[in-house]
Amino acid sequence: MKSLQYFLVSLFLLVSSLEAAVAQNIVVKQSNESGIYKKGENITVTVHLNKPASDSILIKTWINYSATSSVRKIKYNDDAVIFNDSFDAATSVILHITAGNETSKIGLVVAPEDFKPETEYPKDLKKYWKAERKALRNLPMEIKSISIPDFTKGFVCTNVEINCTGPKPARGYFVKPKVAKEKSLPIVLLVHAAGVKGSWCLAKPENALRYARMGAGALCFDLNAHGMLNGQPQEYYDNLEEGELNGYMHFGLENRDSIYFRGMYLRLLRTLDFLTQQPEWDGKRILVIGESQGGGQALAAAGLDKRVTAAVATVPAMCDWGRTLIGQKGGWPNPFATTCNREKMLKTVPYFDAAHLLKGSKATLFVEIGFIDETCPSSAVYVAINQSKGKKIIIGVPYREHNLHQQQYRKIWEETVLKPKNSFIEDFITSKK
């Protein structure tokens, strides 16, 4: 954790140096620009208005993603102190500042390494998933593939369907170099954010090609989350989202056999089995990449399959669903906030929660966390990654919501978050280790 904090400090020193160039009226600064504090450490947050529109500002303070927040109006003066406190336990804080018609947000965490799961680890979790993997691998693999004609020179692309023990097959696009030696290439598995019909939900050949062409090449599979057909007219996906898959994230929350995430995770494992059978795989490197729901899938893959050596998870979902039980917000899709039977959910959802699946994982994790993310709370994400035993590269982003809405930070984010993330991926793919 200590070496990791040094890495974060170096990033946010750069943030501080770039901040003067950011065109904004509301300038928020905190005593530790990384947004990460130790227990008992004093935290000071100040606001400066480049063009004050009134003599007062409105401050909303939200602690630990609880059901309530405090709102107060303060008189503005130059570099006004809007928060001055310390905490003796793991804590998350979000500050929402309103000045006239403008708003800004900033977040911070205290002792993130101390966040712990709020549901009990199922004693038979490993046994349950061992049985699921066994059933999956006992099912003879049936593969249907359609070659994509006139694809990029030097690469082949196929639209692949793989049968699965889940309710639907695994489907996606598989791209690899046309010529590669046996045991020479890493595997890269791409997984998608929530939804059905959005462009970000659909597997695409160009997504897989981006990584397949890095370095000496990679075996890249872009897997859609739902086992739906690829390359269909938009109407097909619109109908799925409005019909069969409407509200899919809350399907089967009271039963391990019918919960939607069971099929999603089984498709992950089936695809990894398919990829590891490719003669070009080097037998060592497997990287899973995803954002939001895809980030949750990436963490789940790192926990469920020991062959996964690294995962890149951006603002990951499916983390510590149990936080709702203590009056805080759990990770997306926040199942305990539904009207389903709580006792039945307690016997079901922990088996699919990244906060438990990652326990003991030795995969390297590269995780981006938004400190003002209200969809995938920072506290819930920390809970999950704290269970892992592998190397962790964590970039906490004080100004990031689930999406990067505060556009004044775009260039800073690209330099201090996106660039290191892409470098990690490129290094993983090009390295022979």
Distances, alpha carbon 116 to alpha carbons 89, 90, 309, 379, in Å: 11, 9, 24, 9
Cis peptide before 333 (omega within 30 of 0): yes
pLDDT classification of 7: cutoffs 50, 70, 90: very low
Q: In the chain, where are the structural domains located?
A: 24-113, 125-430
Name the pTM for this structure.
0.94
Would the CATH topology of 24-113 be identical to that of 125-430? no
- Helical (H) or strand (E) element with 331: none
pLDDT classification of 6: cutoffs 50, 70, 90: very low
pLDDT classification of 212: cutoffs 50, 70, 90: very high
pLDDT in tens, 161-189: 999 998 999 999 999 999 999 999 999 99
- Strand order across the beta sheet in which 310-314 lies: 143-147, 155-162, 170-177, 219-223, 185-190, 281-291, 310-314, 364-370, 392-397
Indicate the SS3 state at residue 180: coil
pLDDT in tens, 20-60: 334 478 999 999 999 999 999 999 999 999 988 788 999 99
For the domain made up of 125-430, give the CATH fold. Rossmann fold (3.40.50)
Q: Tell me what the pLDDT averaged over the chain comes to.
A: 94
pLDDT in tens, 272-322: 999 999 999 999 999 999 999 999 999 999 999 999 999 999 999 999 999
pLDDT classification of 78: cutoffs 50, 70, 90: confident
pLDDT at 416: 96
pLDDT at 5: 40
**b/e code 54-93 from CB counts within 10 Å (16+ = b):** eeebebebbbbbeeeeeeeeeebeeebebbeeebeebbbb
* Strand 364-370 versus strand 310-314 pairing type: parallel
- Strand order across the beta sheet in which 80-85 lies: 26-30, 43-49, 80-85
- The CATH number, out of the four listed (3.40.1710.10, 2.60.40.10, 2.40.50.840, 3.40.50.1860), of the domain defined by the range 24-113: 2.60.40.10
